Amino acid sequence: MKKAYRVKKNEEIQEIIKLKKTVGNSYFILYYRKNHEISNFRYAISVPKKVGNAVKRNLIKRRIREIIKDNNFNNDYDFFIVTKQKSKDLKFAEIKRLLEKLFAKADILRK
């Protein structure tokens, strides 16, 4: 996944959160917004320290990035995924199932 697809600035993440378009479950929260200025979708991932040490947090981030790479998103959306503490014990297949449900619920997947 190219780094051009990532939301990097804190101000941009705060704008996504400020719009309060969100879906979630007991493991993840997905904030999203429509963005017509950029020609491709962008994303950011947050894994808090409560989830575990750096190795555990990076593992979860790598798994989420792989799931994002496998899905086909609408190009005019920015989204921000926040993991909750309960997600630390999930296997890859469970993370994929839960996140794809959230993507479908938010209607950001290409049809």
Any alpha helices (H) in the chain, and if so which ranges? 10-18, 54-70, 92-106
- What is the pTM (predicted TM-score) of this model? 0.89
The whole-angstrom separation of Cα 85 and Cα 39 is 33
Task: Specify if 31 maps to a domain.
Answer: yes
In a domain, residue 45? The reply is: yes
Task: Classify the C-alpha dihedral 78-41-49-104 as positive or negative.
Answer: positive
Q: Look at the chain and report how many structural domains it folds into.
A: 1
**CATH number, domain with residue 57:** 3.30.230.10
Asked if residue 102 belongs to a domain, the reply is yes
Domain for residue 38, yes or no?
A: yes
Report the C-alpha gap between 77 and 43 in whole angstroms: 8
- Contact criterion met (CB below 8 Å) for 28 and 43: no
- 76 in a domain, yes or no? yes
Instruction: Confirm whether 111 is domain-assigned.
Output: no
What range defines the domain where residue 90 resides?
A: 3-106
List the chain pLDDT tens, one digit each, 111 residues.
667 778 888 888 898 888 888 999 999 999 998 887 777 888 999 999 999 999 999 999 999 999 998 888 888 888 999 999 999 889 999 999 999 999 999 888 887
Percent helix, strand and coil across the chain, each rounded to 5? 45, 25, 30
